[in-house]
Amino acid sequence: MDDEKLDGMMDGADLNGRLFINFLRSGGLPPLPDLRFSANTSSCLEDRFNKSYLKANPDFYSRPESVNEAMVFVRYLEGMASFVAMVSAEERVKQEARRERAESLLNGLSKIIDAMQSLDDAALGFLLAGGFEQIEKDFPDTRLPSPMRDNTFALMVLARDMKKTCAGELASMHLGMTNGLLNLPITDADFARPQFMVAHKLEDYLGRLNIKFTTTETGLAGISFHAVMELAGIECNKAGYWLTKAAKHEKSWASFIAKLKERGSS
């Protein structure tokens, strides 16, 4: 998105909109895809926003500001869709690489277990003894079984003991880690999820304009959420879930206002 288009979005934008636009044009970001709603979608969103805005701000009923705010809102949604489309694409690449690294770790662990079980006791004991000796050198407080390497019987006993305990425990760990991979979370941070990011931005934007934030699929926030997701190419049919999550978040606009009221009454 070039500076001329961002300048056009900046005209008439409220504080929240200007902050987001400045974020879009900040240095270091890769080029954003220039996504646009269809004329029909834009008209529908502007109409729904205008009605909600006029209801929340009746003083603007006959003023052009209400129409201008609706246009800015739609441009804001398009900018948000462009941004989350880029973030979503990067996140998919990150998650694929993350899963590949996890699978590589599990494969490596599986090979270690197989190698320990297949290697003859004398050879495994010899290697383990050398490893334990090195650990004791590097970590003086550590005391590990380190039989002399010329004591074949002691080495074999060490190897068999390790196969029964260490290899068995590693096998159990490998099984548990493999099961964990099936449910590997996408991320630990809500704000890294495009769905939550959009819901949070909508809650904040509408709240600052005194527009009631509803979590229904058919409310202004709901249809705006679906429009952004569709434009960004992200499949999501749970607008209500994400909008509710955003509304209850500690960094929501509603939470901010509630804290201000608490301070004022204390």
48-89: pLDDT as tens digits: 999 999 899 887 655 667 778 899 999 999 999 988 888 776
- pLDDT at residue 248 tops 90: yes
- pLDDT at residue 252 tops 80: yes
- pLDDT at residue 244 tops 50: yes
pLDDT, tens digit, 9 for 90 and up, residues 158-207: 788 878 777 778 888 888 888 888 777 655 456 668 899 999 999 999 99
The model's pTM: 0.55
DSSP states of the chain as a string?
--HHHHHHHHTT--HHHHHHHHHHTSTTPPPPP-----HHHHHHHHHHHHHHHHHH-GGGTTSHHHHHHHHHHHHHHHHHHHHHHHHHHHHHHHHHHHHHHHHHHHHHHHHHHHHHHHS-HHHHHHHHHHHHHHHHHHSTT-------TT-HHHHHHHHHHHIIIIIHHHHHHHHHHHHHHHT--S-S-GGGSHHHHHHHHHHHHHHHTT-----STTSHHHHHHHHHHHHHT-----HHHHHHHHHHSTTSHHHHHHHHHHHHH-
Write down the mean pLDDT value for the chain.
80
User: What is the average per-residue pLDDT within 135-160?
Assistant: 72
- Please tell me the predicted confidence (pLDDT) of residue 93: 60
Residue 225's pLDDT band (cuts 50, 70, 90): very high
pLDDT, tens digit, 9 for 90 and up, residues 22-55: 555 554 445 567 899 999 999 999 999 999 998 9
Extents of the domains making up the chain: 3-94+188-260, 119-182
